[in-house]
Amino acid sequence: MKVLVTGGCGFIGSHLCDFLVKNKMEVVILDDLSTGSLSNLATFDELTLINANILDESARKEALQGVGIVFHLAAKTSVVESIKDPETTHEINLRGTWLIAEDAIKAGVKRMVFASSAAIYGDQRQSVLDEYLVPNPLSPYGASKAASENCLCALASCSQMDAVSLRFFNVYGPRQQPWSPYAGVIPKFVLRLLKGQPPIIRGDGEQTRDFVYVADIVRALTSVAGRKDRFSGETYNVGSGKATSVNTLVKTLSNLIGVDKDPLYEEGCQGEVRHSLADISCLMLKVGVMPKTKLEDGLKDTIAWIATNQGL
């Protein structure tokens, strides 16, 4: 089968493309390389890359020719940047999703799998977040993901293309660049500790996150894509199902790296939630997918990759 991966040169997208190629899929990538990198693609010779922005109409139509499934991962992913420049986040994330979905329907695509985010939840009264909660995003980024889910649900209800949204929690793993302004806390902490520097924590460190390894994200994406039953805009959380405080994360990384540095604390970030933990029961029961990677095992792989690629 021929599939399209938007944002396929990025951190998650490149891992997905590797998996698809290994499983004999014909893979097309649409990526403007604004945050992704060709160095992420170990199987580049077996891929078709269209280097263009998601808003480029001719590029979208070229990318969709003969495609059966679209994995839509292209997005502006920084909460902080979305607050500074909400218009660009809206254009790429929401309008880009609408345009690729419309063109996919016209091209006869059967299914779109959308990379959504736990950021759509915002702060909720309950600590464990399930898909039945009303979205309450605290940033333009979260709002763009919530609106994109609604758009896909509407399009799926009035077309032959079905759609499903996967709400990623805090994804980590190899290829997540520590120097990028869009990087998560794990690669930033790892790089500083490898250099013998204290990690910098924004806030008091007692905020909790659900850290999920990238291989588990790929497993969820591909499992959903391969289901025979129809999706009509459903949403599923993808996480580990376990909460870890930032302070605990730093201690774990320090032990794995063998560096004892007290963290430095700075003011927290605007638009970020206090606690985030996925209820993953729907994904497990309805799709048959559950996370397999323990946090320490995933962190070891991540540390090894960063150490090698940063020459440390």
Structure tokens at 188: 């930033």
Does the annotation count 141 as an active-site position? yes
Catalytic, out of 121, 141, 172, 213: 141
Q: Are strands 162-168 and 208-209 parallel, antiparallel or unpaired?
A: unpaired
Provide DSSP, 140-161: HHHHHHHHHHHHHHHHHHTSS-
- CA 34, CA 130: separation in Å to the nearest integer? 32
The CA–CA distances, whole Å, from 107 to 56, 62, 66, 67 equal: 16, 10, 8, 8
Q: Annotated catalytic sites, by residue? A: 141
